[in-house]
Structure 1
Amino acid sequence: MTEHTSSTRRQFLRTTAGAGLLAAGGGLVGSASAAEGIPTPWLHRGEGSDSNLIKDPEGNPVTLRGVNIADPARLDDNDMRYHVTATKVTRWALDESEGWYNRIVRIPCQPGDILGQGHGGVAPGEMTASDVETYVEDHLRPVVDLCGEQGAYCIVDYHRHQDSQLLYTDETLSDEVHMFWEVMAEEFAADSHVLFEVYNEPIAPYPGHNTWGGGVDVANPDSEEAEQTWLTWREAAQPWVDTIREHAPKNPIIIGSPRWTQWTWWADEHEFSGDNLAYAGHVYAHAGLRPLSEYFGKPAENVPVFMTEFGYDDEGQDFLKGTTSNEGEGFVDFFETHPHVHWQVWCFDPRWEPAMFDEDQGEWTLRGGEDFHGELFKAYLAEKRADRLPLPDSTPTTSTPPDTPDLDPVGGTVPQDLDGDGLHEDLNANGKLDFPDVNALFQHTDQSAVEDYPAAYDFSGDGVVDSQDVLALFERV
């Protein structure tokens, strides 16, 4: 960074901290304005010299900047006395009329909240697939859909971080992570605005775990012990990545690392296998993770990096305590010199520290000044509101749709083509693709009404209509 850029950045920080630039105050309460938003086409990782970039379908580099919210089930729980709902908070976070320009919202999905037990940790194995499905229907799906409607991406995040004795190599934990992603990946596989974060903060094993001082010094990330820790983590987590990809072929996947996702340094040295992979970093006021350019900038030279948690305040544990002129300036300088690093500041909430807000009976007031980071990052989001955004996807869904003659009724109804691609997926003609359509194709595959018009029902693309087309249609539902 040039001296001119650094000077400008420091002036921006001083103005923000001293004058409360774009501070929200209590104006969030009752706000329901729709955000203008951005296009949310499918994103993909670049190749070759661009392998550290996330791109839109036109090949333009994209950087996603935004916030974390609290777990939707917690926000929706009246017993927690938030006096809000998850969808209301999401609308606030995406409300451009109030000066919020979040282009992505990270959504922590915490087993304790999924089970209705709040912040308290629950042991692996207590959460079932049925619990996750109910959580999706009641709490998560409305927030994800709202992000899409408001023109924002979102990250669905498996959020464990409390139990420092829980090993990421634990078999029961592994079963839970597989189960979680079998439900989640299949649920959101068709949503172009959804990214997945495999595991919020895996902790141990790492060298020196349970020793005084927290174990191996992260200031020496290139040690042999640290490298072996990353390899152990990769061995444990690769099957989870594979499970997501099996159920969701296109959504980008973000991968954390041991010791509370602090060892991003190794991401480009020993990559995971798979397509559209990125890597997470978490850092607050940790002195041992400075300079940021070393611990997170070094891997970002070769792989996409998402800083999915960062921030500071003057409360709580020592590693959270920082200042705008020190930690705040450091974060902004890092993002200025690494414009391709994506970031989601923690936390658009009055309770999950470091919190961006104070709260009184549902009225949220943005914190700022020297000790809190809410005003700073609201202002920085506004400054970057038009920077490195995706363009609408101009790629046609297919080439020229195949010509199909007037079709014969199938089961008494003439099937309909819902998206103009020549394939008639709406077999019962009720205006949508659903499981009765799959059943109708299964029941009539070997009948002339289907066999005589293969171009209309060749969902597998192999030139014939058979059981593979039934399966391909089922996967579209």
Structure 2
Amino acid sequence: MKNIKQWITPTAASIGLVLLCLPTSAFAQNTNPPAQPAPANPSNRLHVWWRDGAPGQRPYTVDNKKMPLISVKGNKFVDPDGNTVLFRGLAISDPDKLEMQGHWSKDHFVKVKELGTKLVRIPIHPIVWRERTPAEYLRLLDQAVGWCTELDMYVILDWHTIGNLETEVFQDPMYVTSKQETYNFWRTISRHYAGHNTVAFFELFNEPTTYRDQLGPISWDDWKKIVVNEITLIRAYNPQVIPLVAGFDWAYDLTPLRLSPIAAEGIAYTVHPYANKRPQPWEPKWEEDFGFAAEKYPVIATEFGGFARPPSTNGQSATAESTGRGNRNNPAYGPAIIKYLEGKGISWTVWCFDPEWGPTLIRNWNYELTPSGEFAKAAMNGEIKQPTSNQ
């Protein structure tokens, strides 16, 4: 044990002596950063992110045709002279779909106009807004706005999603979005189309729903907060456009307005009064669910359809066919809903000018009308015979 101690002690002392003789710099921490790699060549990147900016605006100049401004007065839409405007129109399918299938052209909008359309609803699905990128999608929308202006048709831009924006759970993958994306969408759209009178309406959210609680809960107060945020953001860029606000139950139920309307001026409310929402007789239920609101606010039925051929067309009797909404055309529905809406001063756009998205207005890309399309054309031209007791 003694020999071990004698061996350790001198060794430790020797080590200490060596350490004392070392320069203090030997213990200093190296604070110099490691050498940096050579910067990457920006041309090899997918994009140079610091050069990204918001999609640029494409303003109409004095050389461009400009549509009269539509605004809200009381419970009506009015033109610059204060005349009430009742819109009759239709929805096309998503511009991305139309371009992918080779049908995106001015000729397509000419066919829309030939039906008597005054208002075109353009559905924009979140999935393709992302996949195409906002800048590329705006290229399509700019074309649509230009064509509609040339053809004297106004435009609704519709954020076409279905689900619960509070929980951010949605009915199908094509509708998936988020509050952040939704706000940024309207920020982009508002800035881009500020001053473009053709784009008269922004439909903030196509169809809010909990899908019978399968998409989680949302209260009316929750929904109001989201809507007010959207409207505030939109008006910072585009104070003249008319925001369109939907109620719950797939944009059918406006009953919360009785006690708690949206705290904003110059807006309108939307409804999607498909025939299968309520059993007959429809009129008392329509009045209770949404019609009452038209006494105080502008209301527009932005989506409905599934009509039988109008009885007045070539003397033919009404016929039924599948609507794509799980029910068949009821011959009484078309005349009843048009009479009710126009009797209340409610503008409307029917669904859909595409042979694949039902209820369809056309059978094929030769633009052959379905019975529902024949009815819509007659309705847009004021030719619908109202139902009588023997019809």
TM-score, normalisation: structure 1: 0.57
Q: How does 1:99-248 map to 2 (within 5 A)?
A: 100-116=115-131, 131-137=133-139, 139-161=140-162, 164=163, 166-170=164-168, 173-194=178-199, 195-204=201-210, 208-210=212-214, 229-248=219-238
- Deviation sequence 1:115-154 (CA, Å, 0-9, x none): 45xxxxxxxxxx8xxx1122001x1110011111211111
What secondary structure is seen at the aligned counterpart in 2 of 1:375? Answer: helix
Which residue identity lines up with residue 374 of structure 1 in the other structure? Answer: G
Ranges of 4+ aligned residues in structure 1 off by more than 3 Å: 166-172, 316-320
2:379 aligned partner: 380
Aligned-pair distance for 1:86?
A: 4.7
1:260 aligned partner: 250
2:359 aligned partner: 354
Aligned-pair distance for 1:333?
A: 2.0
1:308 aligned partner: 302
CA distance in 2, matches of 1:151, 1:317: 30
CA distance in 2, matches of 1:264, 1:87: 36
Aligned-pair distance for 1:187?
A: 0.8
2:340 aligned partner: 334
Aligned-pair distance for 1:111?
A: 1.6
Conserved 8 A contact 1:168-1:202: no
- Deviation sequence 1:152-200 (CA, Å, 0-9, x none): 1110111112xx5x44344971101111011101111111121111111
Q: Tell whether 2:98 aligns with 1:91.
A: no
1:43 aligned partner: 70
CA distance in 1, matches of 2:193, 2:383: 28
CA distance in 2, matches of 1:269, 1:145: 41
Which residue identity lines up with residue 338 of structure 2 in the other structure? Answer: V
Conserved 8 A contact 1:44-1:252: yes
Conserved 8 A contact 2:323-2:360: no
What secondary structure is seen at the aligned counterpart in 2 of 1:366? Answer: coil
Conserved 8 A contact 1:278-1:305: yes
CA distance in 1, matches of 2:353, 2:196: 23
Conserved 8 A contact 1:312-1:321: yes
- Deviation sequence 1:213-272 (CA, Å, 0-9, x none): xx9xxxxxxxxx9xx832331122210121111111111111112221111233354222
Aligned-pair distance for 1:39?
A: 8.3
2:368 aligned partner: 365
Conserved 8 A contact 1:285-1:321: no
Aligned-pair distance for 1:288?
A: 2.4
Conserved 8 A contact 1:69-1:105: yes
1:76 aligned partner: 99
CA distance in 2, matches of 1:64, 1:39: 18
What secondary structure is seen at the aligned counterpart in 2 of 1:253? Answer: strand
Which residue identity lines up with residue 267 of structure 1 in the other structure? Answer: L
Q: How many residues align?
A: 295
Conserved 8 A contact 2:165-2:179: no
Change in Cα spacing, 1:271 to 1:350, as seen in structure 2 (3 Å) is same
- Deviation sequence 1:17-36 (CA, Å, 0-9, x none): xxxxxxxxxxxxxxxxxxxx
Q: Percent identity over the alignment? A: 27
- Deviation sequence 1:321-373 (CA, Å, 0-9, x none): 332x22112212213422x20100111111111001111xx3121011xxxx2
Conserved 8 A contact 1:168-1:203: no
Change in Cα spacing, 1:193 to 1:318, as seen in structure 2 (3 Å) is closer
Please tell me the root mean square deviation across aligned C-alpha atoms, in Å. 2.7
Change in Cα spacing, 1:169 to 1:59, as seen in structure 2 (3 Å) is farther
Conserved 8 A contact 1:229-1:258: no
User: Max radius of gyration: which structure?
Assistant: 2
2:77 aligned partner: 54
Aligned-pair distance for 1:53?
A: 0.9
Which residue identity lines up with residue 69 of structure 1 in the other structure? Answer: I
